[in-house]
Amino acid sequence: MLPMRFYSSLTSLLLRGFFSAYCLCSAMAMAAGDGMLWKVQAGHGPVSYLFGTIHVDDPRVTTLAEPVNAALESVQSFMMEVLPSNDVSPYYMQGSLAQLLTEAELEQVYAAADFHGLPRDMALRMKPWLLAMVFDLPVSQSPYTLDVHSFTCRRNAQARLSRRWKRQRRIFPCWKASAWKSRC
């Protein structure tokens, strides 16, 4: 079994790569315009909106401007990249980390879990790759990321929910966080 340091280093490298790609994409988006919410309409057809999100829980990002709230509240259907799932099997091991780690390594896992507000029993069941990702992130500022918050608002408004990506080509819009002011 590879040590936790390997998974942490690998995760850190991946996150840095994603961050670099995000910065590049953001720079290109700023050159093209500064919106995160695009109105899409073909001729006189129905109006659709394309909303760029990021998987963070920072209030500067999750606080939505009124035009964004109005657009989200007006839709009858809401399509996400991937719908949230209650299936935890991809994230939990069959056994426990307590069976695989030394006492000293377990203490490190407990310390990191406590720091991140993660229950110890949950941390012991999580797969190492997921723990490495969680432990490499800053402490959560809220329980919801922007995309989950948007999903929850639309679910509560009883909009039709569906997922966008199956085997189709993915388009990842980029955005500027300074345009956000209020919340739905």
pLDDT (tens digit, 9 = 90+) per residue, 158-172? Answer: 777 777 654 443 334
In a domain, 26, yes or no: yes
Using the structure block, give the residue that is written with the tokens 């995160």: 36
| Burial group, residue 33, by CB count within 10 angstroms (0-12, 13-18, 19+) | exposed
pTM: 0.48
| Ordered alpha helix ranges (H), 75-145 | 103-115, 120-125, 128-136
In a domain, 99, yes or no: no
Q: What is the pLDDT of residues 5-56, one digit of tens each?
A: 666 666 666 667 666 655 554 544 443 445 677 778 888 888 777 777 777 7
Total number of domains in the chain: 1
Q: What is the pLDDT of residues 99-147, one digit of tens each?
A: 999 999 999 999 999 998 889 999 999 999 999 988 988 887 777 777 7
In a domain, 20, yes or no: yes
User: Which residue range is the domain that position 43 belongs to?
Assistant: 4-87+140-179
What's the rounded Cα separation, in Å, for the pair 74 and 13? 40
In a domain, 95, yes or no: no
